[in-house]
Amino acid sequence: MRLVAFNEELQESPTHYHIGALIDDETIADLTPSVLPLGFTPSEILRCYDLQTNFISPATEAIAAGDLPTFFVDEVALASPVPRPGKVICIGLNYRNHAIESGMEIPKSPLIFSKFATCVIGDGDDIIIPSGSEQTDFEAELAVIIGRRAKNVSARDAMEYVFGYTNCNDVSARDFQFADGQWQRGKSCDTFAPLGPFAVTKDEIADPHDLSIKFRLNGETMQDSTTAELIFRIPELIEFLSRSITLEPGDIIATGTPPGVGFARKPPVFLKDGDVCEVEIEGLGILKNGVLSSSSSE
């Protein structure tokens, strides 16, 4: 199933969302009336990604019955499929060639950092270059959506804790990142975690470690790789993280980016006002976001 969070009208700061299933590339079946008629707050929508609540089975039955309201994709405002994750955990240098192009050693264990949940945006939303940054960069990544509470999970059992997957753009202000000596501010500026356009349930993806992953800037392919090149795979990441961090439904793990990012190019390529970013991972659609400077967004 492909799930979307959306609003019937574009709102600056929506307080409630609909959740729906894409029944084809153009049509959304609105599951909200049969589950929570008034709509979901950002925290309530996490229940839909909790495998313990078994949301998918009644949703599947409701779609099959054919009595749900429907919308065309182009008449609603898509949000991130997880509008406000509890945690956004990111994995650095998880593609060997990206570590090499970054001038960094190949990690011996997963390199972990985070993004604040407030920087999550959806498909079609604008990435805002923050005031003071002249080196805002792009990173296409496969994002894992956690589906049940996970603590001290073994790699052998880890995939049972996965709800599904979505596209992620790990936008990074490199000048902030490198000047600070740590990554939090440079990775967590507002709008720096586009996710979407939809979440795909785990059963729809035969092997998440064998997917093409691409990033295009204004139509030009900048990153072109495959998730087969991941150094630490999803089960290893869940095992490693859950030893010290309790993972919860709706948490996001962004698994790292392949080579081709802007700061490592010669000459470097950074995002600028008017650019268009596209992340495309096989089976997960295309996540598309425009770019605005902070002055243009005011």
Residue 297 has pLDDT above 70, yes or no: no
Q: Is the peptide bond before 110 cis (omega within 30 degrees of 0)?
A: no
Residue 20's beta-bridge partner residues? 4, 30
pLDDT band at 183 (very low <50, low <70, confident <90, very high): very high
Q: Which two structure tokens, joined as six digits, stand for 247?
A: 């993972």
Q: How far apart are CA 252 and CA 254, in angstroms?
A: 6
pLDDT band at 11 (very low <50, low <70, confident <90, very high): low
Residue 169 has pLDDT above 70, yes or no: yes
pLDDT band at 89 (very low <50, low <70, confident <90, very high): very high
Residue 38 has pLDDT above 80, yes or no: no
Residue 56 has pLDDT above 70, yes or no: yes
pLDDT band at 102 (very low <50, low <70, confident <90, very high): confident
**Range with the poorest average pLDDT among 10-19, 86-95, 179-188, 234-243:** 10-19
**Range with the poorest average pLDDT among 21-25, 54-58, 108-112:** 54-58
For the segment 252-280, the average pLDDT, to the nearest whole number, is 97
Per-residue confidence (pLDDT) for residue 100, from 0 to 100: 87
Residue 264 has pLDDT above 80, yes or no: yes
Residue 52 has pLDDT above 70, yes or no: yes
Q: How far apart are CA 85 and CA 178, in angstroms?
A: 26
pLDDT band at 10 (very low <50, low <70, confident <90, very high): low
Residues of the chain with CATH 3.90.850.10: 88-297
Topology (CATH level 3) of domain 88-297: Fumarylacetoacetate hydrolase; domain 2 (3.90.850)
Q: Is the dihedral of CA 73, 76, 78, 81 positive or negative?
A: negative
Per-residue confidence (pLDDT) for residue 205, from 0 to 100: 98
pLDDT band at 103 (very low <50, low <70, confident <90, very high): confident
Per-residue confidence (pLDDT) for residue 105, from 0 to 100: 87
pLDDT band at 231 (very low <50, low <70, confident <90, very high): very high
Q: How far apart are CA 88 and CA 146, in angstroms?
A: 11
